[in-house]
């Protein structure tokens, strides 16, 4: 565990965000009274996973860019992008697992609807937290940007001496 660097956390976490966007975020199973159950799943790209995919890619790009003057700023932006991806995943998991009045109506008629979160949303949340933590650690350890070096001030040029006769 000691060998895990913040860079590894950011890249691995952002990779999980991207993978999570491609995998199922929710599974729906419907059983209508007396009929067989129907089920379907929705991938992250069918909804908010499009945003988390972009945020994961942004976190990777900002982490691998080589610009010493902007590295601290890039780490901060990667932290925000990763944290936002985790937040989107958390909000969506609460929306998926929340009970609705439609479920009560269906159960009263002998039918049922089962909505469960998929693996993609869990990977998005875990990856977002890991990448945000790694970005924060990178931001802490990176040196502050140094001002650009100014050339030393030179004394004003002396006018040429007048021509000798």
Query: Quick one: which of 25, 17, 3 has its CA closest to 59?
Result: 17
With respect to residue 128, please indicate whether it lies within any of the assigned structural domains: yes
d(CA 150, CA 11): 36
Domain that holds residue 128: 19-32+40-141
Reported as a single tens digit per residue, the pLDDT across 23-81 is 999 887 777 766 667 778 888 888 889 999 999 999 999 999 988 788 899 999 999 99
With respect to residue 3, please indicate whether it lies within any of the assigned structural domains: no
Mean pLDDT across 86-103: 81
With respect to residue 13, please indicate whether it lies within any of the assigned structural domains: no
Question: How many separate domains does the chain show?
Answer: 1
d(CA 165, CA 46): 90
With respect to residue 127, please indicate whether it lies within any of the assigned structural domains: yes
With respect to residue 101, please indicate whether it lies within any of the assigned structural domains: yes
With respect to residue 116, please indicate whether it lies within any of the assigned structural domains: yes
With respect to residue 86, please indicate whether it lies within any of the assigned structural domains: yes
With respect to residue 66, please indicate whether it lies within any of the assigned structural domains: yes
């Amino acid at each position: 565990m000691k060998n895990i660097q913040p860079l590894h956390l950011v890249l691995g976490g952002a990779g999980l965000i991207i993978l999570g966007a491609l995998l199922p975020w929710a599974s729906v199973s419907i059983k209508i009274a007396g009929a067989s159950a129907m089920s379907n799943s929705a991938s992250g790209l069918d909804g908010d996973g499009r945003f988390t995919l972009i945020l994961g890619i942004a976190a990777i790009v900002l982490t691998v860019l080589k610009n010493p003057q902007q590295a601290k700023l890039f780490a901060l932006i990667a932290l925000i992008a990763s944290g936002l991806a985790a937040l989107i995943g958390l909000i969506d998991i609460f929306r998926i697992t929340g009970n609705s009045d439609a479920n009560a109506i269906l159960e009263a008629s002998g039918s049922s609807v089962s909505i469960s979160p998929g693996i993609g949303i869990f990977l998005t949340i875990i990856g977002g937290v890991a990448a945000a933590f790694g970005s924060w650690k990178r931001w802490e350890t990176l040196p502050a940007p140094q001002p650009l070096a100014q050339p030393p001030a030179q004394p004003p040029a002396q006018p040429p001496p007048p021509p000798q006769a």
